[in-house]
């Protein structure tokens, strides 16, 4: 998919030992000037995670740009999905505990507007430097931020996957923000199937290899699988390619 000079693509891969893929991916044009990317990861170990993730993606896909603030539109769509999820649980109590992450961005007009909840991530690569834009909403991240545990100790901690925020959780908080999107920038959105098995420096090296966007995405997924990842993996990428005259 292209939007002016921006080339975008995405892929979702079911985990090797999963019966179904609980991840969902969105990559589409909202209009001729705006592209939306989103990844959602249904909570593992809970019933209906895939249903929650699908509802989030459906709500984001139905955004009407208009003149509203883009980040506010994303937040409102995620909140709408949260209401839907609670209605589903009320009708089907056996789905109690269902929820999903939501990490999404609208790209247009030289800007990125994003919204996020959970432990999927958005990264920005600029001038060869990879930076994590979103903050993981996990129990361990809270401890890291408080200085109670180191990043190194958190890598193999038994509670490293425990979310403290998700769509479907009570009193969920949604982070939003915006930043410029410039020529040669790369925007990466991914579920934790990638980031739990591939370190940031490895991700950066793959992005810097300069291959076509679909090939880069395949390389990220293949690297995760070779590292022994068994979780679902979803990756979306947008690259503002400088025009070659």
Q: How far is CA 18 from CA 40, 45, 49, 97, 236, in A?
A: 16, 11, 13, 19, 21
The whole-number pLDDT of residue 164 equals 80
Name the pTM for this structure. Answer: 0.92
Asked if the model's pLDDT at residue 45 lies above 70, the reply is no
* Structure confidence at residue 115 as a pLDDT band (50, 70, 90): very high
Lowest mean per-residue pLDDT among 15-19, 96-100, 140-144, 239-243: 140-144
The whole-number pLDDT of residue 223 equals 96
For residue 230, give the nearest of 50, 44, 56 by alpha carbon: 44
* Structure confidence at residue 52 as a pLDDT band (50, 70, 90): very high
204 is a domain residue: yes
CA distance 164 to 212: 36
Q: Which residues of 30-47 are buried (b: 16+ CB within 10 A; e: fewer)?
A: beeebbbbbbbbbbeebb
Question: Residue 57 is part of which domain span?
Answer: 2-134+166-240
**Residue whose pair of structure tokens reads 């109670």 in the numeric block:** 148
143 is a domain residue: no
102 is a domain residue: yes
179 is a domain residue: yes
Asked if the model's pLDDT at residue 192 lies above 70, the reply is yes
105 is a domain residue: yes
The whole-number pLDDT of residue 163 equals 76
* Number of folded domains that form the chain: 1
Return the SS3 of 234: strand
Phi-psi bin for 127: left (phi > 0), alpha (psi -120 to 50), beta? left
**H helix intervals, 107-199:** 139-145, 151-155, 192-195
CA distance 230 to 224: 9
Q: What is the pLDDT of residues 69-110, one digit of tens each?
A: 999 999 999 999 999 999 999 999 888 889 999 999 999 999
Structure tokens at 48: 């209906």
Task: Count Cβ atoms below 10 Å from residue 129 Cβ, excluding itself.
Answer: 9
156 is a domain residue: no
For residue 39, give the nearest of 183, 236, 179 by alpha carbon: 236
Across 144-156, average pLDDT: 61
* Structure confidence at residue 207 as a pLDDT band (50, 70, 90): very high
Asked if the model's pLDDT at residue 174 lies above 50, the reply is yes
222 is a domain residue: yes
Percent of the chain with pLDDT strictly greater than 70 = 87
Q: What is the mean pLDDT of the chain?
A: 89
The whole-number pLDDT of residue 245 equals 35
DSSP state of 138: B
* Structure confidence at residue 160 as a pLDDT band (50, 70, 90): low
Give the CATH number, domain containing residue 8. 3.60.40.10
For residue 216, give the nearest of 227, 225, 205 by alpha carbon: 205
34 is a domain residue: yes
């Amino acid at each position: 998919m292209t939007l002016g000079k921006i080339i975008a693509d995405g892929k979702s891969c079911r985990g090797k030992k999963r019966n179904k893929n609980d991840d969902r991916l969105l990559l589409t044009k909202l209009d001729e000037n705006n592209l939306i990317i989103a990844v959602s990861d249904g909570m593992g170990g809970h019933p209906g995670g895939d249903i929650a993730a699908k509802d989030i993606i459906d709500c984001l896909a139905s955004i009407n740009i208009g003149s509203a603030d883009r980040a506010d539109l994303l937040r409102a769509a995620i909140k709408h999905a949260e209401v839907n999820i609670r209605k589903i649980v009320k009708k089907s109590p056996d789905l109690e505990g269902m929820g999903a992450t939501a990490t999404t961005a609208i790209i247009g007009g030289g800007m990125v507007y994003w919204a996020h909840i959970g432990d999927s991530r958005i990264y920005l690569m600029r001038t060869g430097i990879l930076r994590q834009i979103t903050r993981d909403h996990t129990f361990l991240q809270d401890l890291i931020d408080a200085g109670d545990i180191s990043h190194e100790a958190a890598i193999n901690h038994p509670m490293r996957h425990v979310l403290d925020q998700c769509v479907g959780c009570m009193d969920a908080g949604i982070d939003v923000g915006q930043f410029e999107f410039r020529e040669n920038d790369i925007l990466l959105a991914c579920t934790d199937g990638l980031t739990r098995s591939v370190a940031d420096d490895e991700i950066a090296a793959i992005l810097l290899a300069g291959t076509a966007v679909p090939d880069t995405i395949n390389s990220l997924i293949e690297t995760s699988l070779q590292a022994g990842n068994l979780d679902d993996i979803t990756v979306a990428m947008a690259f503002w390619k400088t025009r070659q005259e």
